[in-house]
Amino acid sequence: MNSAYTVTAAEGEASAQTINEGESEQNDNVFRVGMEAGYPPFNWTQSDDSNGGVKIDGNEEYAGGYDVEIAKIIAKQLGKELVIVKTEWDGLVPALQSGKIDAIIAGMSPTKERKETIDFTDIYYKSDLIMVVLKGGKYENAKSIQDFSGAKITAQLNTFHYSVIDQIDGVLKQTAMDNFPAMRVALQSGIIDGYVSEKPEGISASSKNKNFVMVTFEDGFVTDEEDTAISVGVAKGSELTGKINEILSGVSQEERQQLMDEAIKNQPGSDAEQTSLSWVVSIIKDNGPMFIRGAGMTLLISMVGTVLGFLLGLMVGVIKTIPIPLKKGKRILQKVINAMLSIYVEIFRGTPMIVQAMVIYYGSALAFGIHMNPVGAAIFIVSINTGAYMSEIIRGGIVSIDKGQFEAAQAIGMNHFQTMRNVVLPQVIRNILPATGNEFVINIKDTSVLNVIAVTELYFQTKSVAGNNFRYFESFFVACVIYFVMTFTVTRILRYIEKRLDGPANYSMNQIQV
């Protein structure tokens, strides 16, 4: 039971045709299921196929958990191969609408807001809301939600969990958080006193981290059945609704509870007492391949995106500095081109990359039926974003060159592009090299927002690791070190290149002895 992603009914209906077209493009023998793979015991990421894990699409990791087991049952009865698509929570509904996945099986509640956007099957699990707090803390023995008056409480962003906090009189409602790993970090560090969750997650959290306690209530939250239930999300009007309902009707309540008990038991992680240093060593040892693959994806996207963005920015910067033509027709054409380039630059400099990613990746599928590869889309997004910034950097570099050099080049018969290629750009590139390196470093860090389009870069992988072992500080410390090593290395390489371009500090000529 995670967050409600709000989209109007009109938008959902308007995109129904595109959704169906997107579905038809998918392999008919494949059942593509979207989930976070970081919300134990419902779903998590693991390094192998133990305990029935299913390989994640486009990745070397596997997904396990209660949702995966339900998905396996549905896929088997449908006679299709199960494919797990790992996506950040906020990207699940857009992925379903755009036809990139066939269903959402990710602990999602069939709330009224979601029903305006997508359809839901019958319930496949039902639970109660609880509170997760620190062991030995002030609220460990709470019996009523009103015992949390004055407590700092939060829940996942855009969730029903977050809205029920208002039922607590005098509560200090904190800003909602993106995911459960973030809330667990905040709880363990004392930033919050507790977070709202449901019973399976509470059992999992308290069993895997001895610092956490699950609080159940005699006088609890007032909820509707749909808020505490979990269903499979499918596209509006999808024929899968009836088929999945028929399959779920054949799974008894006893079987469902057994699957949940096994999921809680099999969830990765350890409750062994270790020092922080030994935990760091264990995390690297157990999850090293995940960190390496995440870092590799981050470097690939940032490096290719920076190079392509630099070339794009170079082209835009040169075009925007072309002298005004004398002929009226060419002058009008140049103004139109410059206006279009200015719009491009302002839009991509004035909007966050995460918004651009959502619009380009999911919007292209919804509006035009274009299904982009997540990695290809990520490189495209980083490239055009970098190009917008680099164009202004390059334009500023060109403008900074002394006008006398332009006049001298023109005096010996060079046109604008010859002047640029032979005189101006060699100087500009040297001068803007530090700014280019800065863009590269920024891109390494900004790839962390691309998990919303199912790119499993370093940050997304780290969240998965932390969600499995419940050791948040240690997991993110490892990621912090990796990010620093990447950015520090890039910075040093670029400084070496700068020195090579500058040449020796003092030039001297060997004197010939006569």
Amino acid making up residue 397: G
Tell me which DSSP letter residue 219 carries: B
Fold type of domain 9-125+230-268: D-Maltodextrin-Binding Protein; domain 2 (3.40.190)
Helices assigned H by DSSP within 321-471:
328-350, 353-368, 374-400, 403-411, 416-419, 425-446, 458-469
Report in angstroms the alpha-carbon separations of 156 from 195, 212, 349. Answer: 8, 17, 29
Quote the pLDDT of residue 16: 41
Q: What number of other Cβ atoms are within 10 A of residue 446's Cβ?
A: 21
- Give the integer Cα–Cα distance in Å for 341 and 321: 12
Handedness of CA 58, 62, 67, 70 (dihedral sign): positive
Among 292, 462, 377, smallest CA distance to 94 is for 377
The torsion angle over the Cα atoms of residues 119, 121, 127 and 131, rounded to 10 degrees, is -20
What number of helices (H) and strands (E) belong to the chain? 20, 13
Residue whose entry in the numeric block shows the structure tokens 């060109």? 398
Quote the pLDDT of residue 510: 53
Residue whose entry in the numeric block shows the structure tokens 């380039």? 341
Q: Strands across the sheet with 103-104, in order?
A: 81-86, 30-35, 103-104, 229-234, 119-126
Which contiguous run of DSSP H or E holds residue 474? helix 472-502
Tell me which DSSP letter residue 88 carries: -
Q: Strands across the sheet with 44-46, in order?
A: 44-46, 62-64, 54-55
Q: What number of other Cβ atoms are within 10 A of residue 311's Cβ?
A: 14
Report in angstroms the alpha-carbon separations of 36 from 68, 86, 104, 178, 262. Answer: 11, 5, 10, 12, 19
Which H, E and C letters describe 271-291, residue by residue?
A: CCCCCHHHHHHHHHHHHHHHH
Strands 30-35 and 81-86: parallel
Domain boundaries, the chain: 9-125+230-268, 129-215, 278-502
CATH class of 278-502: mainly alpha
Can 9-125+230-268 and 129-215 be said to share one CATH topology? Answer: yes
Residue pLDDT tens, the chain, 514 long = 444 333 333 444 444 444 344 443 445 799 999 998 888 889 999 888 999 999 999 888 899 999 999 999 999 999 999 999 999 888 899 999 999 999 999 989 898 888 999 999 999 998 889 999 999 999 999 999 999 999 999 998 878 899 999 999 999 999 999 878 789 889 988 999 999 998 888 988 888 788 899 999 988 999 887 778 999 999 999 999 999 999 999 999 999 999 999 998 888 765 555 566 777 888 888 889 899 999 999 999 999 999 999 999 999 988 888 888 778 888 899 899 999 999 999 999 999 999 999 999 999 888 888 889 999 999 999 999 999 999 999 988 888 888 888 889 888 988 878 888 889 888 888 888 889 999 999 999 999 999 889 898 999 889 888 877 777 788 889 999 999 999 999 999 988 888 887 766 555 545 544 4
Written as six digits, the tokens of 23 are 């579905």
Written as six digits, the tokens of 215 are 């609080």
Query: Is 326 in contact with 370 (CB distance < 8 Å)?
Result: no
Residue whose entry in the numeric block shows the structure tokens 């959402």? 104
Quote the pLDDT of residue 221: 94
* Residue 153: strand pairing partners: 173, 194
- Give the integer Cα–Cα distance in Å for 435 and 429: 10
Residues 6+ apart with CB under 8 A from 488: none
Strands 172-173 and 152-154: parallel
- Give the integer Cα–Cα distance in Å for 201 and 207: 10
Helices assigned H by DSSP within 171-275:
180-188, 199-208, 225-228, 240-249, 253-266
Among 164, 196, 179, smallest CA distance to 91 is for 179
Report in angstroms the alpha-carbon separations of 85 from 96, 121, 292, 438, 441. Answer: 11, 19, 20, 33, 29
Q: What number of other Cβ atoms are within 10 A of residue 137's Cβ?
A: 17
Helices assigned H by DSSP within 27-148:
66-78, 92-97, 112-115
Written as six digits, the tokens of 213 are 């306690």
CATH class of 129-215: alpha beta
